[in-house]
Amino acid sequence: MPRIQLRDLCGTRSGDKGDTVNIALFAYDAAAYEAIRREVTARAVAAHFAGLINGPVTRYEAPNLLALNFVAQGALGGGGPRSLRSDNLGKTLGGALLRMEIEVPGPVAATAPRRRPDLSLYEPR
């Protein structure tokens, strides 16, 4: 099965409160939702952020929205003013999660709406 980044399958919204971060993934279609639901577990998210998230990660499913919501505790180095991280806000972790790679069925990878710029426009002629 091909491996692709989550950014090719879904968007994200995230935020924080104290030392807890909330990251929601919103799939672009039902096939992408089933792929991320199968592969993006609480354990996989905790492993992706190993060393950054020191507490438990809990996953909530919202199939009517084609969404998964992750709540991670101990995720922000103690929270805003206490953290020594240069950018400790929850929104940065949402973007970082989109770089996670997962295995998906070939048809899902083939129809993923790649939201990347067409760099061929900048190739010398």
Which residue from 125, 77, 108, 81 is spatially nearest to 6, judged by alpha carbons? 108
* Res 79: pLDDT: 62
Asked whether residue 84 carries a pLDDT value surpassing 90, the answer given is no
pLDDT at residue 92 in the model: 84
Rounded mean pLDDT, 45-51: 94
pTM for the model? 0.83
Host domain of residue 68: 3-113
- pLDDT single digits (tens) 85-104: 545 567 788 999 999 999 99
- Centre a 10 Å sphere on the Cβ of residue 18 and count the other Cβ atoms it contains: 12
If one counts the domains in the chain, the total is 1
Does residue 125 sit within a domain? no
Is residue 122 a part of any domain in this protein? no
